[in-house]
């Protein structure tokens, strides 16, 4: 099974890379057209395919509608909430986001980190009201970030946005401070190496819920997922991770799966608007874990220190 999961033929990579180049050039040209149309008409071209709507950076873009972020999953079950630096789909039934989506770039990560905000608060953009701090009091669970504060540490405003309770989920302490922390740190390492990643992450809500906490009955998910897409040349690639919400001594590689496997488990459709169907099918069906280098020191720190904090 491991060999099957890690099988990503060089010929397929070459085809994907070539296609990505074509898609990239076409997207840049159409992105310019789209920008011009928006600027002078204030409307979205009716005939423009979704994958041609391109933005390199959303740092200074004020988000106003569900079509303004082209990399969001395309079949949300919850209420789409758009903050300035990330977007999410909030499912009232669980008082959780089914996904949070954002771009992670080396440019941002290499900036000096601002002071951590720690200003946990309800999300005013959730029409049905999000969970609150009181839901986590006297529970054994950590307030676990979905979009990590460290991913947004380049800006005080961006960091503060990650403390909306719509971006928080109950996590076992050994999971939050251990294996999930390691995966988050590795994700930042990969973003620095590959320069630009599209990231979607969240709790798995399609499996039986472990527990419910607080007056608002916040669901404790049995596991969490993270999917990543790198469209940079010369090695376009994607990968997913499904990690049980528990302390673990297993290596991160054991949780690696294809994006297709995460889609099948969660029912969420990732990255559809970023690629032509052929490229999407190729990248989401295959992955090569050797392209996503892990860190032995982080693993040893996790099993020797982080799991016990």
SS (H, E, C) 191-254: HHHHCEEEEEEEECCCCCCCEEECCCCEEECCEEEEEEEECCCCCCEEEEEEEECCCCCCCHHH
Three-state DSSP class for residue 98? strand
Q: Write out the E strands in the chain.
A: 79-82, 87-91, 96-105, 142-145, 168-171, 196-203, 211-213, 218-220, 223-230, 237-244, 256-257
Secondary structure class of 256 (helix, strand, coil): strand
Residues in contact with 58: Cβ distance below 8 Å, sequence separation at least 6, in sequence order: 69, 84, 85, 103
Max Cα–Cα distance, the chain, nearest Å: 59
Place of tokens 């930042």: 188
**Residue 8 known to be catalytic:** no
Which member of 8, 83, 145, 196 is catalytic? 145
- Positions marked active-site: 145
């Amino acid at each position: 099974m491991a060999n099957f999961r890690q099988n990503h033929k060089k010929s397929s990579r070459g085809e994907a890379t070539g296609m990505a180049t074509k898609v990239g050039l076409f997207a840049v040209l159409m992105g310019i057209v789209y920008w011009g149309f928006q600027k002078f008409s204030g409307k979205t071209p009716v005939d423009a395919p979704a994958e041609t709507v391109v933005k390199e950076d959303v740092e200074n873009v004020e988000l106003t509608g569900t079509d303004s972020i082209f990399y969001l999953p395309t079949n949300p079950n919850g209420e789409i909430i758009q903050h300035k630096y990330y977007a999410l789909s909030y499912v009232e039934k669980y008082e959780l986001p089914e996904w949070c989506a954002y771009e992670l770039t080396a440019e941002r990560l290499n900036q000096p980190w601002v002071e951590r905000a720690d200003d946990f608060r309800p999300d005013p953009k959730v029409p049905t009201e999000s969970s609150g701090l009181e839901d986590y009091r006297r529970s054994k669970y950590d307030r676990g970030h979905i979009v990590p504060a460290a991913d947004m540490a380049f800006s005080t405003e961006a960091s503060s946005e990650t403390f909306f309770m719509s971006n928080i989920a109950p996590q076992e302490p050994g999971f939050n401070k251990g294996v999930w922390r390691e995966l988050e740190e590795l994700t930042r390492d990969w973003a620095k190496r590959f320069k630009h990643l599209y990231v979607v992450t969240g709790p798995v809500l399609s499996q039986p819920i472990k527990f419910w906490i607080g007056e608002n009955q916040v669901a404790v998910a049995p596991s969490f997922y993270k999917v990543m897409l790198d469209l940079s040349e010369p090695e376009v690639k994607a990968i997913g991770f499904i990690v049980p919400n528990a302390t673990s001594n297993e290596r991160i590689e054991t949780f690696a799966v294809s994006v297709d496997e995460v889609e099948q488990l969660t029912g969420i459709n990732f990255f559809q608007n970023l690629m032509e169907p052929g490229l999407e099918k190729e990248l989401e069906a295959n992955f090569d874990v050797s392209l996503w280098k892990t860190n032995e020191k982080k693993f040893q720190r996790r099993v020797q220190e982080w799991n016990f904090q």
